[in-house]
């Protein structure tokens, strides 16, 4: 399967714990995006990377959130001191790069904060 993959698919954690999600984009894609989707809503942009550089962050991305893409391939999204309001589906998407708009999404990581 050469699509976008995400791990884990589901994560249940207790409030206050830290969690980390991983995204592996399509291999030749150098842009990678993170979105958050709450129940009954469309995905909302969080941040994106051009290769290893994080170039844009949404105001939704509080100080408790950090994302990395150290070698320009896979990316991680960490949430520190999770809150119940962080419960959502975290989606990763990738695209070829500048000038290409088609974004292909992974299956998402469903986070539940108890």
Partner 1 sequence: QQQVKQSPQSLIVQKGGISIINCAYENTAFDYFPWYQQFPGKGPALLIAIRPDVSEKKEGRFTISFNKSAKQFSLHIMDSQPGDSATYFCAASKTSPPEETSGSRLTFGEGTQLTVNP
Q: What is the DSSP string of 77-102?
A: EEESS--GGG-EEEEEEEESSTT---
Q: Please enumerate in sequence order all residues whose Cβ is within 8 A of that of 96, keeping only pairs 6 or more positions apart, or say none.
A: 28, 29, 30, 31, 102
| Residue 1 binds to partner 1 (criterion: CB under 8 A) | no
| Residue 77 binds to partner 1 (criterion: CB under 8 A) | no
Tell me whether residue 21 or residue 48 sits nearer to partner 1 (CB atom): 48
| Residue 59 binds to partner 1 (criterion: CB under 8 A) | no
Stretch that binds partner 1, among 12-20, 59-67, 69-77, 90-98 (CB under 8 A): 90-98
Torsion of CA 12, 13, 18, 24, to 10 degrees: 0
Tell me whether residue 22 or residue 80 sits nearer to partner 1 (CB atom): 22
Q: What gap in Å lies between CA 8 and CA 55, rounded to an integer?
A: 25
∠ CA 97-68-52 to the nearest 5 degrees? 40
Stretch that binds partner 1, among 11-19, 48-56, 62-70, 79-87 (CB under 8 A): 48-56
Binding residues for partner 1, rule: CB under 8 A, are 4, 6, 31, 33, 35, 40-45, 48, 50, 55-56, 91, 93, 95, 98-108, 110
């Amino acid at each position: 399967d050469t699509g976008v993959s995400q791990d884990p698919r589901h994560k249940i954690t207790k409030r206050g714990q830290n969690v980390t999600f991983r995204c592996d984009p399509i291999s030749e894609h150098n842009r990678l995006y993170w979105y958050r989707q709450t129940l009954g809503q469309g995905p909302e942009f969080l941040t994106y990377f051009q290769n290893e550089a994080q170039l844009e962050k949404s105001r939704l991305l509080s100080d408790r959130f950090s994302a990395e893409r150290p070698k320009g391939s896979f990316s991680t999204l960490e949430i520190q001191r999770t809150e119940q309001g962080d419960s959502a589906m975290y989606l990763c998407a990738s695209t070829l790069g500048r000038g290409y708009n088609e974004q292909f999404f992974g299956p998402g990581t469903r986070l539940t904060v108890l």
